[in-house]
Structure 1
Amino acid sequence: MSLTLETLERLVGFETVSAKPNAEIIAYIEDFLLARGARCVPLPSPQVGKLGLYAEIGPEGPHGVLLSAHTDVVPVEGQPWTRAPFALSREGTRLFGRGTTDMKGYVASMLHAADQAAKSDLNEPLKLIFSYDEEIGCVGIQEMIGRVPDLIGSPRACFVGEPTGMQVAIGHKGKAALEAVCTGQAGHSSLAPRFVNALHLAADMIAGLRDVQDWFARNGARDEAYDVPFSTIHVGKMEGGTALNIVPERASLTFEFRHLASDAPEMIMARITEVAGRVGAHYRDRFDGADVSITQLNAYPGLDAPAASEASQLAARLLGTNDTTKVAFGTEAGFFDALGVPTIVCGPGSMAGQGHKADEFIELAQLEACERMLDGVVKELSA
């Protein structure tokens, strides 16, 4: 564990909040891997100071096993931290610091595995990929994905190390983030009924989205492996108006849907578009310009891997379990799965218990379990 702990201390010390560059942490990871004979390929972002990294150790070849992690973390501002968030500290069996659970604990374990692989006689390569800006909607992997297929080949398994408490997760929902812009008429508030208030369109749009949500809860696909077993729609932000005495001519909603694999996002989007059209049409007899327009801001795919996939079976064998689970949060796993790579999510720590919280920590036992699993991966590649 000494190398993992030393590495984790260095990793936590990099303030890789998504709004900041991550070039320094990638340089540290690349230097660590190059010192162990890895073949490294930086994956620059169009954003200055942002980049990912692909690396492999062992013989060249299309197969092997791929380990995947992101290097960014969520902000600490506004959270009641009782210790320095970007300095690793220990209390008993707990290691504190931003990213210890999500997900620099896994990154440290990946580097431990790379160190072990460099000392082993591998028959297949160990492949590693590190991304950026995962915390703001899997933005980095979307920028990287065009180069990924030629680099990774066809690994027989991919382990994405988001915190699952070291359970083998074979599924999570996909997500789309959207904005609805509602157009009404400006006017003096003393004559408000003569004008179309954009906030009224926005309120009707919210009511329509709630109806769509109710429909999916009653009639949509269900998967009881999830805490919420159906696809969901959530409005997170509403804005509009400039002053109390002005009828608002513009209002906006920022909302999302998270969908089961069985509910096609195109179908959900069609229902949302129908609501927007109906709301706009309702006001056009009073104002021709009344409208609700929908723009997709971001999206990432879900994961719905078979329990019998090679990745699931390998992880289960290494962990000594036959159990699988599904997680509520999104990951980058769906991108690798879409490339035809058998993919699961399995990593140390609890997202519900520690992820994104003040005084984030990881238990030593979780890191030890992750090390054992990845040591097993290296032995598998040496067999």
Structure 2
Amino acid sequence: MRALEDSKALLRDLVAFPTISEDSNRALIDHLAGRLEAAGARVEVLADASGGKANLFATLGPEGDGGIVLSGHSDVVPVAGQDWTVEPFALTERDGRLYGRGTCDMKGFIAAAVAMAPVFAARKLTRPLHFAFTHDEEVGCLGARALAAALAAKGLRPAVAIIGEPTSMRIIEGHKGCYEYSTHFTGRAGHASAPDRGVNAVEYAVRYVARLLELGEALKARAPAASPFDPPWTTVSTGVLTGGNARNVIAAEARVDWEMRPVQPGDADFIKAALRRHCDETLLPAMRRVAPEAGIVTEVVGEVEGLVPASDNEARRIVAELTGANDAGTVPFGTEAGIFQSLGMSVVVCGPGSIEQAHKPDEYLALDQLAECLAMLERLADRIGGRE
């Protein structure tokens, strides 16, 4: 019961930090660093180039390789335009639920892990226990990529990672990758009464999206026969198409924000090659016949690896023992898990709360889910350390 109350109190603090991805997360990271240092952890705060964002990496137990990582991202999605019935950046407890932005995605797991730090510190741990809290997961897993590079540079090789994204405490061993892009179109402005004298960037952006739709259909036939995902093929989605400034002006600029979620690496190469040919052989020649300065440039926002199910997965074995689960599944949403897997770790995703509540108004974490997560972490403390 004490651990649950401590977790709720810490979650109240964390929700009060409005760590929307476009803003700084430093105050939250510094708060967590203080809590972990007080528990006896060896703490590193790893700032980005701007100094406004930071990752936290902390360790309890012995030095060296082979440790277990408890990982979560500190950023949250915006609340603008959402109809909340409670204050999003103040924790509200009601009817067995904890409401607030980030409660399930994923400050609840972070609060549980850090609240349990004194319990872990009181044990004689047989292997390192790491806490890894990152920035900017929601906008391309930027913090996790930086953390992976830092761990590789140090030569530190943890063996297991548990990513505490909301899975209703189910063990997840696989998910698709998430590749995000912004494609920018530059045309030539002019009066709409003479469309042939300009190059309408919006219209060429529409043609680009039409090709994305065609390729999305083609990907269905490329689905692996034994794909564990739902849907089983790589998906393509257009999220934003914007451009122009008036109905009677030929649009000089446009932008398409789009993504794909590969089930296999070759699908990403297939899409990118097909789009490159479409631009080089069809769109750009037509644009430059009128405006030699016209262009199409694709900006890579983030290319995040998927989590590939592995037949030999220590993380799955450990979490199955801790939770009593007999199976593991896959999910359609992305996480930082593939980045940790790329470092050679065995990885699962398992955390409190449901993805159905994430990113929505009145996001909440059920108290019984938080208690279940704490029970898992208590069993982990028993597993890797006895009482001193």
Q: Same fold (TM over 0.5)?
A: yes
1: CA distance, partners of 2:33 / 2:60: 12
Aligned residue number for residue 324 of structure 2: 320
Please report how far the alpha carbon of residue 161 of structure 1 lies from its aligned counterpart in structure 2 after TM superposition. 0.4
Structure 1 position 329 matched with structure 2 position 337: no
The residue type paired with residue 318 of structure 1 is L
- 1:340 counterpart SS class: coil
Change (3 A) 1:306 1:20: same
Structure 1 position 297 matched with structure 2 position 301: yes
Structure 1 position 101 matched with structure 2 position 101: no
More off after superposition, 200-209 vs 160-169: 200-209
Aligned residue number for residue 233 of structure 1: 236
1: CA distance, partners of 2:288 / 2:117: 66
Aligned residue number for residue 51 of structure 2: 48
Please report how far the alpha carbon of residue 49 of structure 1 lies from its aligned counterpart in structure 2 after TM superposition. 2.6
Aligned residue number for residue 192 of structure 2: 189
2: CA distance, partners of 1:363 / 1:193: 59
- 1:297 counterpart SS class: strand
Please report how far the alpha carbon of residue 224 of structure 1 lies from its aligned counterpart in structure 2 after TM superposition. 4.9
The residue type paired with residue 104 of structure 1 is K
- 2:302 counterpart SS class: strand
The equivalent position to 2:310 in structure 1, one of 306, 310, 320, is 306
Aligned residue number for residue 217 of structure 1: 220
Please report how far the alpha carbon of residue 327 of structure 1 lies from its aligned counterpart in structure 2 after TM superposition. 1.5
Change (3 A) 1:89 1:188: closer
2: CA distance, partners of 1:13 / 1:252: 34
Aligned residue number for residue 278 of structure 2: 275
The residue type paired with residue 359 of structure 2 is H
- 1:321 counterpart SS class: coil
Change (3 A) 1:221 1:287: farther
Aligned residue number for residue 345 of structure 1: 349
Please report how far the alpha carbon of residue 223 of structure 1 lies from its aligned counterpart in structure 2 after TM superposition. 5.8
Deviation string for 1:60-114 (max 9, x for gaps)?
Answer: 2211211111111112222111112222221121111111101111001111331
Aligned residue number for residue 180 of structure 2: 177
Change (3 A) 1:249 1:320: same
The equivalent position to 1:3 in structure 2, one of 6, 12, 17, is 6
CA contact (8 A) 1:67 1:127 kept: yes
TM-score calculated relative to the size of structure 2: 0.92
CA contact (8 A) 1:261 1:303 kept: no
Please report how far the alpha carbon of residue 20 of structure 1 lies from its aligned counterpart in structure 2 after TM superposition. 2.0
CA contact (8 A) 1:164 1:345 kept: yes
Change (3 A) 1:151 1:327: farther
Within 5 Å, which residues of 2 pair with 1:1-383? 1-150=4-153, 153-221=156-224, 224-281=227-284, 283=286, 286-287=289-290, 289=292, 291-352=295-356, 354-382=357-385
- 1:209 counterpart SS class: helix
- What RMSD over aligned residues (CA atoms) do the two structures have, in Å? 2.1
1: CA distance, partners of 2:338 / 2:308: 8
- 2:57 counterpart SS class: strand
Please report how far the alpha carbon of residue 282 of structure 1 lies from its aligned counterpart in structure 2 after TM superposition. 5.6
Please report how far the alpha carbon of residue 253 of structure 1 lies from its aligned counterpart in structure 2 after TM superposition. 1.6
Change (3 A) 1:150 1:371: farther
2: CA distance, partners of 1:282 / 1:5: 60
Aligned-pair identity in percent equals 36
Please report how far the alpha carbon of residue 286 of structure 1 lies from its aligned counterpart in structure 2 after TM superposition. 4.0
2: CA distance, partners of 1:93 / 1:296: 42
1: CA distance, partners of 2:375 / 2:154: 27
1: CA distance, partners of 2:353 / 2:287: 53
Deviation string for 1:139-171 (max 9, x for gaps)?
Answer: 222233321235582222100100011111111
2: CA distance, partners of 1:284 / 1:19: 34
2: CA distance, partners of 1:50 / 1:316: 34
CA contact (8 A) 2:171 2:320 kept: yes
TM-score calculated relative to the size of structure 1: 0.93
Deviation string for 1:262-301 (max 9, x for gaps)?
Answer: 5353333112212222332561684363543333232211
- 2:194 counterpart SS class: helix
More off after superposition, 320-329 vs 221-230: 221-230
The residue type paired with residue 302 of structure 1 is G
More off after superposition, 137-146 vs 216-225: 216-225
Please report how far the alpha carbon of residue 370 of structure 1 lies from its aligned counterpart in structure 2 after TM superposition. 0.8
More off after superposition, 157-166 vs 2-11: 2-11
Change (3 A) 1:209 1:32: same
2: CA distance, partners of 1:96 / 1:184: 47
The residue type paired with residue 52 of structure 2 is G
Change (3 A) 1:271 1:360: same
Please report how far the alpha carbon of residue 131 of structure 1 lies from its aligned counterpart in structure 2 after TM superposition. 0.7
Change (3 A) 1:234 1:222: farther
- 2:111 counterpart SS class: helix
Please report how far the alpha carbon of residue 127 of structure 1 lies from its aligned counterpart in structure 2 after TM superposition. 1.0
